[in-house]
Chains A and B, each alone.
Chain A
Amino acid sequence: MFPINDTESSRFSAFPVMTFMIILINTAILFIFPPFLYGEYYERVATVPAMVFSREGGGFLTGITSMFMHGGFFHLFGNMFALWVFGRRVEDACGSWRFLAFYLLAGFGSDLIYVLINSQSEIPVVGASGAVFGVMGAYLILFPRGRIRTLIFWFSFIPSWPKIRAFWVILYFLALQLVPAMDILLNGAGGQYSVAYWGHLGGFFASLTILLFLRPEAFARYWSDTQV
């Protein structure tokens, strides 16, 4: 199941400048500093929970730097494609600079929760996925009836691309995170997974918390099932 496009158009702005800039910066960083050449440097600017707990390295600054780095092209493509699908209308709703602030805060919140859950981990974490999950959370709250064109391969080979309510798409991605996240939390199995599941969930819940501060009326509207 791959979200490929938002079926509804933006209302206020013609072009999502900040979403595009974030994608551009992330892509530029990957191509200017490719991980196969600067791998060691990546470890220094990535978030390493064990280093945070031993008060070594950049502390909270690595939470921001790691947000703009990716482990490879497919890692970057997955995150940036999801950002393009969900981020445009969120940026349209709140404005470019607020969207940037929200994106950074969601990424930072994701880092905070990931580090707390994986406190012993010495594995460096990079990627914008926490912030992207945050943007998905914002999309869910701001556009509860929004529909996402989603590519589905039935039985793994029959393609179809229906418009699906954002609620179900996002719920699907959250459900994918839940089992490994519980395994990590209950069995301390963080080392077995190469994906920061708690970073994703952290970003999503951080975004809900941020929205509670910034747009409480959006929650009220969400519960009354009124669309923006």
Chain B
Amino acid sequence: MQEAIKKAKLGQELSARELFIDIVQEDPNNKLAWLWLIGLLDDRGDLILACEEVLRIDPTETRARTRLGELRRTEKVEKERKENAALAKVDALLSDGNIELALKRLRKITRENNRSEAAWGLLAKYTSDLAEKEQALSRLSALDPTNEEKKETLSRARYYRANPLELALSYEEHGETEKAIKVYEGLSAKAKGRSEWDRLFREINRLEGMKVEAIVHISPKVTIARLSVGPPILFLSMLIIQTGYDLRYFTLLMGVEFLIVIVGAFLVALSAAGSEHRVWKKLGSRGGRGSKRLRMLVGAAGLTMMLLSFTLLGIEAYVRWIPLLI
């Protein structure tokens, strides 16, 4: 010990450090040797270890505590700086369209720091692996447990993992054709039979065809709006002819029929579009898209309502026509 201290005082740091390391290996409770090591070590990790050892032996040691605090702060700042630089590189890769490399880097960042919300968020957004997406969203939710939005996103991710075809449809209706194709490709690799593979291949082929033909993406909201407007306009045209272009002959029954057509057309449009809508959420669908059976039921209800109104108007026209036909 005396020799190690002497060497340290003479500036022979390397050999002094070797001696102190030998001492603490023989006697891990030697506080003085650990304190000397704090002054001689270079590596931050080793320094933190030495400070922790001192505090283990003597928790009242304020110099070691202060030094440990400083070291941890520096380590945190350094880590954040590195992480920000890595995330900036990931951003650059993403904007260049190099998704695979970006994902590799994101996985590395999250391995090194599993508390990086930004990295988990990007991983959840860009990964096409449903299990990884769920893991990322689960981690994000754990990091911010009071956030209801994150919980809902996680719940949706779990639903989509169980129903991947619905996820592909969701991507497609948001105009993310590439992602939808990737989901189908992933599923086709795990297809259990020829017919399933054929079905998935048809979907991939359809989406590839859309890309080749540069078919413009139309938002499902626009689709629902335009499909909802069509039948009422047709019905209104029929009403206009039926009343001889004179609004005075517009009856209360016609008004009710018209309202029924509006509601019916909306329901049919909603089920025909099969897209995410708050109506489906209110009806209890976790994915917000409605199940096939629910969509069929709502569509059938809408169609019945429309047919009822059109039939009633048709009967009215036919009754007026009979005297002329006979």
A residues in contact (CB < 8 Å) with B: 44-45, 52-63, 105, 108-109, 111-112, 115-116, 119, 210, 212-214, 216-217, 220-221, 224, 226, 228
Contacts and interface: CB of A to CB of B under 8 A. Distances in A.
- Please provide the 9 A-B residue pairs with the shortest distance between their CB atoms, ordered closest to farther: A58-B321, A59-B317, A55-B244, A220-B216, A60-B238, A59-B242, A60-B241, A217-B216, A213-B230
B179 to A, nearest CB: 20
Interface stretch (B104-112, B192-200, B221-229): B221-229
Nearest to A217: B216
B249 to A, nearest CB: 6
Nearest to A104: B234
B320 A55 contact: yes
Given A58-B324, A112-B237, 5 more contacts: A55-B320, A57-B320, A210-B230, A217-B215, A226-B214
A97 to B, nearest CB: 13
Contacts of A44: 324-325
Interface in B189-248: 213-216, 218, 222, 226-227, 229-230, 234, 237-238, 240-246
Contacts of A221: 214-216
Nearest to A219: B216
B94 to A, nearest CB: 28
Contacts of A105: 234
A160 B229 CA distance: 46
Interface string B300-312: 0000000000000
B324 to A, nearest CB: 5
Contacts of A57: 320-321, 324
Chief secondary structure at chain B's binding surface = helix
A59 B288 CA distance: 43
Contacts of B226: 212-214, 216
B39 to A, nearest CB: 73
A210 B241 CA distance: 18
A118 to B, nearest CB: 12
A210 B246 CA distance: 24
B69 interface: no
A108 B245 CA distance: 15
B100 to A, nearest CB: 31
B177 to A, nearest CB: 13
A112 B233 CA distance: 12
A63 B222 CA distance: 30
A45 B314 CA distance: 15
Contacts of B249: 55
A55 B321 CA distance: 10
A66 B71 CA distance: 91
Nearest to A115: B241
A217 B220 CA distance: 13
Contacts of B316: 59
A226 B213 contact: yes
Contact of A228 (B213, B227, B234, B246): B213
16 contacts: A53-B245, A55-B242, A57-B320, A57-B321, A58-B320, A59-B238, A59-B242, A59-B317, A59-B321, A61-B318, A62-B321, A105-B234, A108-B234, A109-B237, A111-B241, A213-B227
B285 to A, nearest CB: 27
A61 B321 contact: yes
A57 B325 CA distance: 9
The CB with the most chain B CB atoms within 10 A, among A60, A108, A111, A221, is that of: A60
A63 B321 CA distance: 13
B310 to A, nearest CB: 10
A59 B315 CA distance: 11
B190 to A, nearest CB: 30
A11 B234 CA distance: 31
A214 B234 CA distance: 13
Interface string B237-275: 110111111100100000000000000000000000000
Contacts of A115: 241, 245
A57 B222 CA distance: 38
Nearest to B326: A44
Contact of A52 (B234, B237, B241): B241
A110 B324 CA distance: 24
A53 B234 CA distance: 18
Nearest to A44: B324
Contacts of A56: 320, 324
B317 A60 contact: yes
A63 B238 CA distance: 10
Contacts of B215: 217, 221
